[in-house]
Structure 1
Amino acid sequence: MGMKHYKNAQKMNVASLNIDGVNAFLEDVGSSNDANAPISFGFFRMEAGNPLEYTYSYDECKIIVEGEMTIEEVGGETVNVSQGDVLFFSKGTKTVFSSKSSGLGFYCGQRKQGEL
């Protein structure tokens, strides 16, 4: 089967990243079976609180599907994003995620499922 359907995926429970003081949540929904060039996709939620610092070890794109976030590229641009905004992060990009309330993004990254 070449197509998989993930009904109501946006409503799934997104697991905490379990970083003390940081209200960040991430859950892979699925992944490809390509061992040489895996692609994983899922949801990332950032809630008000301390920011999340993260360095990408893979390429990723993200679309904001609800709420808002502020995303800073360390040493570069800071953007306030909301529903419908799309971002691309190159491997090696150092970022800081925060939110004044809460934001949910759908991501697709070139990594194996469960690897951050």
Structure 2
Amino acid sequence: MLICALVSGLVPLTVIKGAGSEFIPLPAGQNATVADFHSIRTNTKDTPSYFTSGFYKIEAGPSRPAHYDFEETKYILQGQIDILDEATGITHHLVPGDFAFFHVGTKVQFSTKSSGFAFYAVTRPVKAAHPNLQGREEVTK
């Protein structure tokens, strides 16, 4: 089947198996981390860019500032992630099912009173390829 797809000009999808929160420990002395697990240089004709996806994990502790020079989306999967939007002064309390979009120029502070886990997609190359998520691409024959 794969050979037929390649011959016809179609490109097969990439599937990452078993990429869950249990595989993403926090670095020593830190209460938050990103875990990039897939990145490509896009083939978009109008404006080629990077497209990277991964997970964001945060535990109670100091707030984590972020100033965006790329676009990002976050979709909350577990817990709660609080985001202080410095442009408005509003703190958003995001829970599973909530979605946030960060524009270029957005400045925020992430925090939580317990823990939070989110999926993200960004328009930047990999910053920190997470070793526990490498090699989890599904093998097709």
TM-score bracket relative to the smaller structure: 0.7 to 0.9
SS in 2 for 1:39: strand
* Equivalent position to 2:122, from 90, 109, 112: 109
* Equivalent position to 1:4, from 14, 26, 34: 14
1:33-72 alignment runs, 5 A limit: 33-34=41-42, 36-72=48-84
> 1:30 aligned to 2:42?
no
Which sits farther off after the overlay, 8-17 or 83-92?
8-17
Contact 2:87–2:106 (CA<8 Å) still a contact in 1?
no
List structure 1 segments (4+ residues) > 6 angstroms apart after TM superposition: none
Overall identity of the aligned pairs, in %: 30
How far apart, in 2, do the equivalents of 1:95 and 1:15 lie? 23
Unaligned runs of 5+ in 2: 1-10, 129-141
TM-score (norm 1): 0.87
SS in 2 for 1:9: coil
Q: CA RMSD in A?
A: 2.0
Structure with the larger helix share? 2
How many residues of Structure 1 are paired with residues of Structure 2 in the alignment? 113
CA-to-partner distance for each residue in 1:17-68, whole Å, 9 max, x for gaps? 67x6x40111101012328311000000111011101111100111000011
Contact 2:21–2:117 (CA<8 Å) still a contact in 1?
no
How far apart, in 2, do the equivalents of 1:16 and 1:57 lie? 24
CA-to-partner distance for each residue in 1:62-81, whole Å, 9 max, x for gaps? 10000111101113121101
Report the CA distance between 1:2 and its aligned residue. 3.1
How far apart, in 2, do the equivalents of 1:15 and 1:107 lie? 17
The structure with more radius of gyration:
2
The letter for the 2-side match of 1:82 is V
Unaligned runs of 5+ in 1: none
